[in-house]
Every structure is written in C-alpha cells, then in structure tokens.
Amino acid sequence: MLIELRPEAAAQPIVDLVQAVPGLTAWPLRYGERRFVVVSGDEDLVPGFGAGDVIATHSTRERGYWLVDREHRIVPDTVRVGGVSVGRGHPLWFAGGPCALEETDAAGRTATAVREAGGHALRGGLFKPRSSPYHFLGRGRSGLADLEKIGHASGLPIVTEVMDPRDVEAVAEVASCVQVDARNMHNRVLLAELGRIGRPVLLMRGLRAGVPEWLRAAEFVVAHGNPEVILCARGVVSFDDTLAFQPDLGALLAVRRLTDLPVVFDPSHCAGRADAVGTVALSAVLAGADGLMVETHVDPGSLYRPGDAHQMYPIDRLAALFEAANVVRDVRDAL
C-alpha cells in the first residue's frame, strides 16, 4: 500500500505508526512534489489515517504495483543514459558490445566500432550469472577500472551488470546504466539496493516472468527511490527450441499500454544465433521497443567463452541493422 501525504505532513510519524504494527514495514518516499509512505504487509493491518496528513491511500493488493502504472504519472517516460534520451518520442536507442567484458584492447576497439555504427552505449558485463561454478564467471570487480577506461576512450556510456548487492555502489560509479540480469529479476535484495542509487537501471525480464511480475520488479526499484528504470525484454522460455528464447512481442505491446517506463530489447540472448538476431530485433521494434541492445564484438574468436561467438552479430553489419530498425519503426508508427 502507498500512503500519499499532504505536502506539509511529516512522514516519519506515519512511518513510525505503521512500523509499530507487527507484520508491517514502512519507509518514506518522495517524487517531486508527491510524497508517500510505502508499506509492506497486509493492507488490512494498516491503521486508518485522518485527512489531515493523508491525501489518499493507494491499494496495491490487486496488482502489486502502482508507481510504475502509466495512469499515475510518477515515473518518467524518458530515461537518459549518459546524455542520450531513451523512451517513446525519442529516436531508437542502440547499445552494442560483448556479453562479458574480456580482453581490454578488443573491448575498446569494439566500443569504437559500435559508436561508428551509430550505437549510443557500450554493453559489457563483469559479473555473469552462470549455472555452474566451472563456467567463466566474469572478470569481477578487478575489471571495473578497465571498463571505465574503455568508456572514456570510446566516448560511449557503459551499460554493465551487477549481481551482488555489495557491488552496487562500486559499479554505479563506473556505469551510466546498471543492468539486472533476467535471473535476478526476482532478487528483491538487489532491486532494493538499486533503488538507492542515482543511476538508471536496465531491468531484464525474467525468463518466465509474466508482465505484471516484471512491473512489480520495477516497482521494487522505484519504491526504494529510483524512478529511472528501463525495461529490457529478451525472450522467454518456451517448449519451442528453434531459438534460444521465444521473442516476447506481446509483452512489449503490453508494457507500452501499462507503463511509461521505456522498454528496449536484447535480440542476441533471445535469438541465441547471429543469423536470427536481425529478425527478432526488427520484430521487437515493430512491437514497440524503444531501443536495441545487441551482442557484437570485433573478434569473436578471441572470446573467453568460445560458445558465445555464434550469437555475436557481425560488427560490420551493425550499421545496416540500425538503419533497418529505423525503417521498421516508421512502418510501425504509420500502422
């Protein structure tokens, strides 16, 4: 439940009153002029409040989110990543780069090539979610300094992942946008931590999360103070194994109806094979994506995980893909 306060009301006494009830937790939240107390717990336990302090209580029982609902006009419809606006009404946003940041020199040349192809940001992770301890887990914290250098050298803002709440602060210092992997979409500890930083959060959809679950994950970030969330679809699990994941076009359409948050698409993890990346990328634009985040690399053969090479989009065809995306976007807008 959200308790919306009058401009002159003090938040702390309300927080204290709620917290005194066993089973409830509360904290204050402010967005511009609007001030709230966020309450976790069963709504029936929340005491009533006089009209003196409280404008309204917003029930979240039915859907589990309220702040990200486009009807409530709390979150922005544009998020800026390193100076570039992402969202409806803006040009398509393009990010490119390897899944995992590896050798610094190649990453730097990749960044330059992405920028020259028309890209607006470099992607590259240091902490990779893996299902086995024997898989390459990413370079870890020690790569942060390199990532910063590559960003400076290429002039591109950095989008990079975080997995451990203890790394959030350090990563946010280097990254222009902090990415949450699909497998962490449900990690409320991490999401709460990301609600406390002053950086946009790129929130991947869980591999089998429904759209409302995805929006509730975004709500976790927003309810802890950070309104700058970019949703990122990347396909969902399916019995159909023709692609790595099934393109979730319906979710893109739905998200546009339900929230103002920008939404982008990762065609590389979705397709899982370079020759299908273009098709799913353009389909996502048809379905309303505000941008694309594509895996690409100047030298796929040099990757620490050789298996990743086959889903790298050829960097010399990246500019053509971005142009095609713009054509398709015009078709969409005219439909």
> ∠ at Cα 274 (270, 279), nearest 5°?
65
Instruction: Report, in Å, the least distance between residue 257 CB and a copy of itself.
Output: 9
Q: Among candidates 220, 249, 218, which has minimal Cα distance to 231?
A: 218
Tokens representing 132 are: 């086995």
CA gap 36, 24 in Å, rounded:
16
CB 35 within 8 A of CB 54: no
Our CB check for a copy of itself shows the closer of 248 and 290 to be 248
- Indicate the DSSP class of residue 92: P
Our CB check for a copy of itself shows the closer of 40 and 56 to be 40
Our CB check for a copy of itself shows the closer of 111 and 221 to be 221
Instruction: Report, in Å, the least distance between residue 59 CB and a copy of itself.
Output: 9
Instruction: Report, in Å, the least distance between residue 50 CB and a copy of itself.
Output: 22
Instruction: Report, in Å, the least distance between residue 81 CB and a copy of itself.
Output: 24
CB 146 within 8 A of CB 105: no
Instruction: Report, in Å, the least distance between residue 155 CB and a copy of itself.
Output: 26
Output phi, psi for 54, to 5 deg. -110, 130
Instruction: Report, in Å, the least distance between residue 307 CB and a copy of itself.
Output: 9
Our CB check for a copy of itself shows the closer of 78 and 246 to be 246
Our CB check for a copy of itself shows the closer of 82 and 207 to be 207
Q: Among candidates 258, 252, 218, which has minimal Cα distance to 236?
A: 252
Residues 6 or more apart whose CB falls under 8 angstroms from that of 302 comprise: 102, 103, 106
User: How far are the Cα atoms of 119, 143, 157, 263, 329 from residue 323, in angstroms, in the given order?
Assistant: 11, 33, 21, 19, 10
CB 218 within 8 A of CB 261: yes
Our CB check for a copy of itself shows the closer of 82 and 314 to be 314
Tokens representing 28 are: 């204050």
Instruction: Report, in Å, the least distance between residue 227 CB and a copy of itself.
Output: 14
Our CB check for a copy of itself shows the closer of 24 and 84 to be 24
